Amino acid sequence: MAVPEITAIIPVYNDRPALEHAIPESLRVLSTITEHFEVIVAEDGSSDGSAELVQEYETKSTFVKLLHCDSRQGRGKALNRAIQQSQGSIVCYYDVDLATDMQHLPELIDAIRKGADISTGSRLLPESDIRRTEGREIASRTYNFLVRLMLGSRIFDHQCGFKAFNKAKILPVLSTVRSDHWFWDTELLVRAQLKGYKVTEFPVRWRAGKGTTVRMKDVLGMGLSILRLWWQIHVSKN
């Protein structure tokens, strides 16, 4: 098998039902973009048979790989580990529920091919087509406004789980990211912009996954994460 041009990473924690659709759909869409790709399922201590399902696909397809962890380490750590072990010169990841329409994957990859260091889908641009509850919409817009205000980011949507990277450029940034879980996306984008990286953001069609909710502790946690990163950048200088 030739060295992959593209590595697609799917972070997973107890997501077997969603994986049953995400894996074949990933193989279908990626095969229209390049002949040389791999799909890494970054399985983070699941107990619902997610790992066993990926193992079944591994026996049937040379494109699918399982990256298993015995205990949960957090989404950010799982993505870090998968990116470091990826073989593609272009690395992308997306949420297992495929909330962002996979029709956008060629555009995501093409932005890196054309010279962007990072490309990311956005639910908050005027052309974006999204469906979610009013509570989630307000929380998202408030959060992203605060990131732009306090951390100087030029991105409108930091948390959309649909991103691609030039692997060679992103590896030095990964070593500076401290977040283990959901704030990982935001911290990576902020630190990359501070290094002068070129980030391409484009509108996407996005539908909220089943069972997703906004909890007050999540909102507070993200707010504290913004303050923590501000302190690291402006006070402790790291």
pLDDT, residue 223, reads: 86
Catalytic residues: 185
Whether the pLDDT of residue 21 is over 70: the answer is: yes
pLDDT, residue 211, reads: 53
**Secondary structure (3-state) at 11:** strand
Are the beta carbons of 188 and 77 closer than 8 angstroms?
A: no
**Band (222; pLDDT cuts 50, 70, 90):** confident
Are the beta carbons of 75 and 15 closer than 8 angstroms?
A: no
DSSP for 109-147, please give it.
HHHHHTT-SEEEEESSSTT-EEE--HHHHHHHHHHHHHH
Q: Rounded CA gap, 156 and 123, in Å?
A: 8
DSSP for 157-180, please give it.
-S--SEEEEEHHHHHHHHTT----
User: Is residue 213 packed enough to be buried (19+ CB in 10 Å), middle (13-18) or exposed (0-12)?
Assistant: exposed
pLDDT digits (tens, 9 = 90+) for 22-57: 999 999 999 999 999 999 999 998 999 999 999 999
pLDDT digits (tens, 9 = 90+) for 94-143: 999 999 999 999 999 999 999 999 999 999 999 999 999 888 898 899 99
Q: Rounded CA gap, 76 and 178, in Å?
A: 9
Kindly list the structural domains of the chain, giving each domain's residue range(s) and its CATH number in brackets, ordered by start: 6-234 (3.90.550.10)
pLDDT digits (tens, 9 = 90+) for 176-188: 999 988 899 999 9
pTM of the predicted structure, to 2 decimals:
0.94
Are the beta carbons of 162 and 104 closer than 8 angstroms?
A: yes
Average pLDDT taken over every residue of the chain: 93
Q: Rounded CA gap, 149 and 141, in Å?
A: 12
Whether the pLDDT of residue 217 is over 80: the answer is: no
In the chain the first and final C-alpha atoms are separated, in Å, by: 41
What share of the chain in percent tops pLDDT 70? Answer: 95
